[in-house]
Amino acid sequence: MKIYSSHTDEYLFSLLRNDDEKAFTELYRRYWKRLLVKANLLLHCQEDAEEVVHDVFVGLWKKRATLHILHSFHTYITAMLHYSCFESLAKRKRLRTRIVVGTTDEDLEQADFSTQQWMAFDDLREELEVAVCRLPEKCQLIFRLSREQNLSDKEISENLHLSVNTVRTQMHRALEKLKTSLTSFFFF
């Protein structure tokens, strides 16, 4: 019997691509707690976090044969989680907006966007998530608190016990690195 716990993530992923359920179980065992903690930080809701982590692993299993990882499995699964969290937050926001404004999903789908524009937007969103995951930990955290949680520099500095100037410097560094990473999508 194979000892799955001694294999690398990438090797387990290659086994998973060949329908190895034990490899999937080992990857789940390694990552579910970490992903749940990250999802909780992003969503501030235990139920939503659990649902998102569940959906990430279901998606991983369903798409196992067609997935291609460019970097590490850890980076890939983290990007999947962040993307799913953003989708969950967007769904929440649409629901709140729909309640206030009365807009339906059908109305949004009928907006004047071509398929190519939607595909380009999805590509950009995925590339942005990968680029954000590559940021240093403190830089990434400050960026996410600012852009995803809409916290001010002062609020971030108070939460992280840093000076406002440090927060601004880290945000500047994050934006510069993201700008460099995303030059293929934009002309700056």
Residue-by-residue DSSP string for 128-161: HHHHHHHS-HHHHHHHHHHHTS---HHHHHHHHT
Domain range summary for the chain, segments of one domain joined by +: 1-111, 115-188
Instruction: Express each pLDDT in 126-138 by its tens digit.
Output: 778 888 888 998 8
Tokens of 19: 């329908």
- Say what the pLDDT of residue 172 is: 92
What type of residue sits at position 1? M
pLDDT by residue (tens digit) across 26-67?
999 999 999 999 998 888 888 989 999 999 999 999 988 888
Closest CA to 23 of 51, 60, 52: 60
pLDDT attached to residue 101? 43
CB 126 within 8 A of CB 182: no
The CATH number of domain 1-111 is 3.30.200.20? no
User: Exposed, middle or buried, 52 (CB in 10 Å: 0-12/13-18/19+)?
Assistant: buried
Question: Residues 185, 124: contact at Cβ < 8 Å?
Answer: yes
pLDDT score, position 105: 56
Q: Evaluate whether 84 touches 126 at the Cβ level (below 8 Å).
A: no
Q: CA nearest 183: which of 131, 148, 147? A: 131
- The confidence score (pLDDT) of residue 104 equals 52
Q: Model pTM greater than 0.85?
A: no
Q: What was the pLDDT predicted at 188?
A: 38
Measured distance CA(57)–CA(160) in Å, rounded = 31
Q: What is the DSSP letter of 162?
A: -
115-188: what fold?
Arc Repressor Mutant, subunit A (1.10.10)
Q: How far apart are CA 37 and CA 52, in angstroms?
A: 11
* pLDDT tens per residue across all 188 residues of the chain: 368 888 999 999 999 999 999 999 999 999 999 999 999 888 888 898 999 999 999 999 998 888 887 778 888 898 889 888 888 877 776 665 444 444 455 555 555 555 555 566 666 777 788 888 889 988 988 988 888 888 889 988 988 899 999 999 999 999 888 888 877 655 43
